Structure 1
Amino acid sequence: MPETEPLSPSWSQRWSGYRPSKTMWFWSLVGISALTMVVGFAFGGWTTGGTAALMAEKAARDARSELVATVCVEKFVSADNASEQLAALKKTSSWERNRFIENGGWLKLTGMDKAVPGAAELCAKELVAIENLPEQSAEAVTTDG
């Protein structure tokens, strides 16, 4: 009895015999390109130029706020009546703390006319978190002249 060929070709036989058309190649490439862009922007961290500019602007704004808040904390802690002021700050409600810091003048930096948004809140948070104020060193500064 002669051997008969299988009724349906195996997967490897079909793959080796497949010859896609130019239209199929074109739409496959379009689909893969679209899928790559969707995955890249959604999950790969890709951004557009506009989004990158907004991110850079926000980072600069946050850095300014953090810098001014750090200076604010230093000014607050180095003041003569820091212990009393810290107690008063801790007694105020959380929504009044920003105004307390702004009215105290600790946010003002030389050459700045407007307050930096977010700095008062950061300064108040850092100050409220302080358990004990650092001790002031009362060393006299002398200059030879």
Structure 2
Amino acid sequence: MGITDRWKDYRPQKSVLAWTAVGASILTMVVGFTWGGWVTGGTARSMAEEAAQARHAELAATICVENFSSLSEARLEQQELVALSSYRQRQFVENAEWAMLPGGQKISRDAASLCAEQVAAIDPEELPAPITAETELNAIEPDSEIQ
């Protein structure tokens, strides 16, 4: 009697089938949660919240940098910011009026840190020149005459 004949004649008991199904289920879950990237609902929820907070901080930092870039005294503010330590830079941004979000909402700590990094990385030549008495006179009295 060969192995194929024995395989054909085998009639498993119900308990063996049940334990095989239980073992296969457990093995599937272990493999899925360990190597398959599966997560529980709570973990997925916390991951989604973290991602949302990170995206909110990025958006707020972008608004902060745009507000900063439109300042007439942006170069001077940047010089002050760069002279500070990273901890003080975050506080500087949090207290700055240009860091306020639309609706008067205060910027978060993560967004302030990100904004400070981005503002410090801006090339000063890309920022508007400080307004002085000379530049105001040039704006009022252009060099060419109107005919």
TM-score range normalised by the length of the shorter chain:
0.7 to 0.9
Task: Give the Cα separation in 2 of the matches to 1:85 and 1:57.
Answer: 33
Task: Give the Cα separation in 1 of the matches to 2:37 and 2:7.
Answer: 36
Q: Give CA-to-partner distance per residue, 1:77-129, whole Å, 9 cap, x none.
A: 22111112112211111121101111222321232444324110110111222
Task: Give the Cα separation in 2 of the matches to 1:96 and 1:10.
Answer: 81
Cα drift, residue 18 of structure 1? 4.2
Task: Give the Cα separation in 2 of the matches to 1:38 and 1:132.
Answer: 55
In structure 2, the residue matched to 1:5 is none
The answer to whether 1:45 aligns with 2:53 is no
Of residues 71, 96, 101, the one that matches 1:104 is 96
The answer to whether 1:81 aligns with 2:73 is yes
In structure 1, the residue matched to 2:87 is 95
Matches within 5 A, 1:63-74: 63-74=55-66
The answer to whether 1:134 aligns with 2:122 is no
Structure 2 portions without partners, runs of 5+ = 130-147
Q: Which structure shows the higher helix fraction?
A: 2
Percent identity of paired positions between Structure 1 and Structure 2: 44
Q: 1:24 to 1:86 in 2, by over 3 A?
A: same
In structure 1, the residue matched to 2:108 is 116
Structure 1 portions without partners, runs of 5+ = 1-8, 138-145
The answer to whether the Cα contact below 8 Å between 1:77 and 1:133 also exists between their aligned partners in 2 is no
C-alpha RMSD over aligned residues: 2.5
Task: Give the Cα separation in 2 of the matches to 1:20 and 1:10.
Answer: 18
In structure 1, the residue matched to 2:16 is 24
The answer to whether the Cα contact below 8 Å between 2:61 and 2:111 also exists between their aligned partners in 1 is yes
The answer to whether the Cα contact below 8 Å between 2:58 and 2:114 also exists between their aligned partners in 1 is yes
Task: Give the Cα separation in 2 of the matches to 1:129 and 1:17.
Answer: 77
Amino acid at match of 1:25: L
The answer to whether the Cα contact below 8 Å between 1:64 and 1:116 also exists between their aligned partners in 2 is no
